[in-house]
Structure 1
């Protein structure tokens, strides 16, 4: 009876929660990286140099960094439904306002405010998933949710390219139309969230009473097992001081530097080979489709084997090699092949990485710790794109910047191995203490 009940609950959770949070992340990611396509004509229109564009593109993550932990703690207090609705409507409004930037300063200001508006969304959903999905399903649930980012690139790139080919409407330029048309779905979805999301399993009337009771009991047992483990953290201050949280943030830093370098610069790197906006969009989208498949299969393997460390290390090394390959590429075919390798590596690393915090964090500790990992990690989204823009100005090419971003992923791989070793040593020391 129990295995049948478990698979029934699992199926309902996947169908009810995952497609909807994927849709939210799809729109979020689209509004975050459409600046890469807007740049095809916006940079000239408002006078942005490559350095200014890289700096403004990255300022999003500074706003995000500063407001991430407070935002997630508020979500923990008021519930996911209301807070995520607030986040989505506000980033939609700011994204729409980006159509009216007139120069570098207004571009910088709105990128920063967009980061503030969106802070708390991603860690809020990761926290939300941990309140619903038992441990053995967590990497797969996270993988499906995060697959929305490469899917957003795969569908959003040609879509953004197509919008950029529209003739001016009501006096708006192509890049302004891009911001406006892609912001509207976010504002609408914010109101849908209020109706659709359920805060906790105890309020899930779409589950049968026996399904609801089984899920609540299962999550309670897992939480109890975690809390009896040595080194478990449930308080928000304890989580912010936990060295494992900082280690995971540094690991995530490399993957974020890689991901947002792709989002912001891939269209401009591809376009230098003489492609138009729509063709550029199609070519930027291809690697992402392959990344989604790799991401889901890799997460399933990680959940099945209950192994996380090597499931993070191997993709980080792969992505690092991909950036080195991209830096030395001389043809468009080599660039696309390098982008495929980088996309697969970065995407595959993320779900096993996000399954790690809930192994030692819960309650307010999970809210604060997950937000801290995401906010520090996402500073890689500032450093990567800015390094590419700055080094392009200095050297005249993309290679040096691509090598720097590759190096951050090598650091992520080494940090993951060090964290694993330290965790094993702590567990051995704790068992010896209890043994005596």
Structure 2
């Protein structure tokens, strides 16, 4: 499960189908996730002005930013099971339209309570999107390709920060002069929610549920691809173990803990990096405009996006998954801890960049781990559970970081917690790898 060498796909029909599906599906799914992530984390840029306008403390902001994941947590598994039952096309479209409406509605919040409410509603609206896509990709791509495919899809996250940072800060700068908006951050929220609604409607026509439903895929290629995927599922997992068995599987719980630690670093960076960069003025005497903050925060994500694809290709080529998760997690933990001792903004950002590389390179090979033993409704529930528990760190991380910032007066304590969480993930996944290897030895 963890270290087996991948077997090359010799069937030319299957390889042709994979190439066609990559070209047809990945740009659409990647664009959808890019919009999704912008609408999820643009609150980090809004905070540069919004917190003062609404009277939010760092702890109140961290709580509100993280409350997104409370609604997300409770609706994640049901949403993924519904997607498996009704099909990706209809359910992904529903998710996108509703999250876009709520994201735009954030423009009209008036106080702390309104901020909390809209963040919970955004989490409920969006629940099931990411794990739904991860599940959907298993309907289209053999195991030998999945880390690479997930990496190409997940490129949307660092690219959303490369694009979203400068875009969000620019909209904040110009939005205050737009009639009907008394603050630029309100205009930013309103504008950035609209594309999700429009693309969600387009998904109804552009996203086939399975290969056999794709008009752009030759019937013989669709048949060969679906037969290959069915054979892989039968050989790897035997049969669909069901929702209950998947949710009770200790491996699912272990992977949820691993993902919790990795995503902890992801969301602390997403929600607090703009404020860390803005804080360089007090720490180092530098001064940046709002747009310059957006550009600076884009750099770590641009570098991480390249590293992520290269690392995922290496994972697919070697067939090894667990070490490809653990090594980046350790590197990220060491880097974010080292950032606290750096004497200049340049060196701090260099360490933050290495941490971002560690976070992002760990995620694509991670999602090959649950797919190795879950299929059918069990996969829908198990992947949803891993993602929902993992993303609870999106609540815990911002809240703890904000609370520690208020308590200590700076963000260093929060960064130590990030390092600890990522190190925890590395240790668990190494234990997971060892237990899987022992089980394989016992079977021999």
**TM-score in terms of structure 1 length:** 0.96
Counterpart among 107, 110, 113 of residue 105 in structure 1: 113
Counterpart among 391, 394, 404 of residue 417 in structure 2: 404
Residues 233 and 239 of structure 1 are in contact (CA less than 8 Å); yes or no, is this contact kept in structure 2? no
- The aligned counterpart of 1:250 is 257
Q: CA deviation at 1:327?
A: 2.5
- The aligned counterpart of 2:375 is 362
Residues 237 and 372 of structure 2 are in contact (CA less than 8 Å); yes or no, is this contact kept in structure 1? no
Q: Kindly report which structure 2 residues correspond to 1:266-415, keeping only aligned pairs within 5 A, or say none.
A: 266-273=273-280, 274-415=287-428
* Gap change, CA 1:289 and 1:161, over 3 Å in 2: same
Count residues in correspondence. Answer: 428
Q: CA deviation at 1:208?
A: 1.1
Counterpart among 239, 244, 263 of residue 246 in structure 2: 239
The answer on 1:123 being equivalent to 2:124 is: no
Which 5+ residue runs of structure 2 have no aligned equivalent? 1-8, 281-286
The answer on 1:187 being equivalent to 2:197 is: yes
Aligned equivalents of 1:207, 1:411: Cα separation in 2? 44
Aligned equivalents of 1:149, 1:318: Cα separation in 2? 20
Aligned equivalents of 2:180, 2:209: Cα separation in 1? 43
* Gap change, CA 1:41 and 1:7, over 3 Å in 2: same
- The one-character-per-residue Cα deviations of 1:199-257 (angstroms, maximum 9, x if unpaired) are 011212211122112111111111111134xxx76211100000000111100001111
Counterpart among 155, 159, 163 of residue 167 in structure 2: 159
- Higher mean Cα deviation, 240-249 or 328-337? 328-337
Output the aligned Cα RMSD: 1.3
Residues 246 and 381 of structure 2 are in contact (CA less than 8 Å); yes or no, is this contact kept in structure 1? yes
- The one-character-per-residue Cα deviations of 1:391-430 (angstroms, maximum 9, x if unpaired) are 111110111110011100000000001111112222333x
- The aligned counterpart of 1:176 is 186
Aligned equivalents of 1:328, 1:401: Cα separation in 2? 14
- The aligned counterpart of 2:209 is 199
Aligned equivalents of 2:237, 2:61: Cα separation in 1? 46
Residues 240 and 377 of structure 2 are in contact (CA less than 8 Å); yes or no, is this contact kept in structure 1? no
- The one-character-per-residue Cα deviations of 1:122-181 (angstroms, maximum 9, x if unpaired) are 000000001110010111111111110000001110111111110421131100011011
Which 5+ residue runs of structure 1 have no aligned equivalent? none
- The aligned counterpart of 1:34 is 42
Q: Secondary structure at the match of 2:340?
A: helix
**TM-score in terms of structure 2 length:** 0.94
